[in-house]
């Protein structure tokens, strides 16, 4: 198959990267996407760096063998731990990472809270970014590892989440002007985060910046499917506004191959690795427009591989 025709891999420790997938679909509407969420091993943010690096390299290696033209590491944690080794291991494709959107936040605000995983916040990449931005604003890094697990469980507005956020964020309410959502899971809890911090706070995330960088990399190589005129900003996609439903009770690798009305021109395949996963291969991508699966990533029909 021609390189241009291959899908773009999007990887996260779990569901969070779907917030980046949404931006990618808007910027690159003609592309196919292969999404891999490593739910069996989430959360990554409390694991040692070497382990996150190994898990990430393992998944990207499997997706690369299947045939991809780019890999988007839609996980701040995995980017911090593994982006350098990944680029060295797969030099013939662009490997795009994500980082907390601190630069745009400090350009417009004086007091900025950064919510991310403990690993992201202590790694060299973020420490360097923070030094770079330190002269522009007061920056407060705040690890929120439990928030990843709330989102993984699909718990976006439960009393337990509200209580957790009140404890974590309450002390900053009215004291910060902006908050950076430095973990791709967090945009799914945007509403609850805003409620805990107060309505005037501006929230930033890195998903569109990552999508723009992916577009740039593909344009540079002439690998945009259907040519560069098929790229650009599209109207908002509703489908990925919610993460998929909670994981199925049974173990095993689950492949989601679906097509939605709001993603009507696109296909993507969604693969999650669950606890006790078999080392199965993802299902092949369904033919363009061939089956009418239920609407919405959030209601993705499951096809157990
Ligand atoms: N979604 C990931 C991130 O952006 C990490 C979540 C986790 O701890 O697994 O950092």
pLDDT for res 230 = 63
- 157: CB partners within 8 A, 6+ apart: 191, 192
What is the distance in A from the centroid of ligand 1 to the CA of 1?
A: 33
Ligand 1 pocket check: which of 59, 78, 115, 183 to mutate, most ligand atoms within 8 Å of Cβ?
Answer: 183
298, 239 contact by CB (below 8 A): yes
Among this protein's residues, is 75 annotated catalytic? yes
pLDDT for res 273 = 55
Among this protein's residues, is 183 annotated catalytic? yes
pLDDT for res 301 = 26
pLDDT for res 199 = 78
Ligand 1 pocket check: which of 22, 117, 188 to mutate, most ligand atoms within 8 Å of Cβ?
Answer: 117
pLDDT for res 270 = 53
Backbone angles phi and psi of 223, in degrees to 5: -110, 15
What is the distance in A from the centroid of ligand 1 to the CA of 95?
A: 17
- C-beta of 44 in contact with ligand 1 (< 6 A): yes
What is the distance in A from the centroid of ligand 1 to the CA of 266?
A: 26
pLDDT for res 226 = 79
Residue with tokens 């173990």: 251
133, 100 contact by CB (below 8 A): no
Choose, from 133, 136, 144, 183, the residue flagged as catalytic: 183
Ligand 1 pocket check: which of 148, 151, 189 to mutate, most ligand atoms within 8 Å of Cβ?
Answer: 148
For the chain of 305 residues, list the mean pLDDT of each consecutive stretch of 10.
Answer: 92 94 93 91 95 96 95 98 98 98 97 98 97 96 96 93 98 97 97 94 97 97 83 51 39 29 37 47 35 28 26
- Looking at beta carbons, which pairs linking 46-51 to residues 24 or more positions away fall under 8 Å? 46/117, 46/118, 46/119, 46/145, 47/119, 49/80, 49/81, 49/119, 49/123
Atom of ligand 1 nearest to the CA of 42: 9
């Amino acid at each position: 198959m021609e390189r241009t025709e291959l899908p773009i891999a999007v990887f996260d420790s779990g569901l969070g990267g779907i917030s980046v997938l949404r931006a990618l679909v808007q910027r690159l509407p003609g592309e196919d996407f292969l999404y891999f969420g490593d739910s069996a091993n989430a959360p990554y943010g409390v694991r040692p760096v070497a382990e996150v690096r190994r898990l990430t390299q393992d998944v990207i290696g499997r997706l690369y063998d299947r045939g991809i033209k780019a890999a988007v590491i839609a996980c701040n944690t995995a980017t911090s731990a593994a982006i350098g080794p990944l680029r060295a291991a797969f030099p013939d494709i662009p490997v795009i990472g994500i980082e907390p959107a601190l630069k745009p936040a400090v350009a417009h605000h004086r007091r900025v809270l950064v919510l991310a995983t403990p690993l992201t916040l202590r790694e060299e990449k973020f420490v360097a970014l923070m030094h770079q931005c330190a002269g522009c604003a007061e920056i407060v890094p705040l690890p929120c590892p439990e928030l990843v697990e709330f989102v993984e469980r699909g718990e976006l507005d439960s009393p337990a989440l509200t209580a957790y956020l009140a404890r974590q964020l309450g002390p900053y309410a009215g004291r910060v002007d902006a908050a950076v959502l430095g973990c791709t899971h967090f945009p799914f809890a945007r509403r609850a985060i805003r409620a805990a911090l107060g309505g005037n706070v501006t929230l930033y995330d890195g998903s569109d910046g990552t999508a723009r960088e992916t577009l740039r990399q593909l344009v540079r190589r002439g690998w945009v499917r259907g040519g560069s005129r098929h790229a650009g900003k599209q109207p908002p996609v509703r489908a990925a506004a919610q993460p998929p439903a909670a994981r199925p009770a049974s173990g095993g690798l689950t492949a989601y191959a679906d097509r939605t009305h709001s993603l009507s021109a696109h296909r993507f395949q969604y693969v999650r690795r669950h606890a006790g996963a078999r080392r199965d291969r993802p299902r092949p991508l369904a033919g363009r427009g061939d089956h009418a699966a239920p609407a919405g990533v959030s209601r993705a029909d499951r096809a157990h591989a």
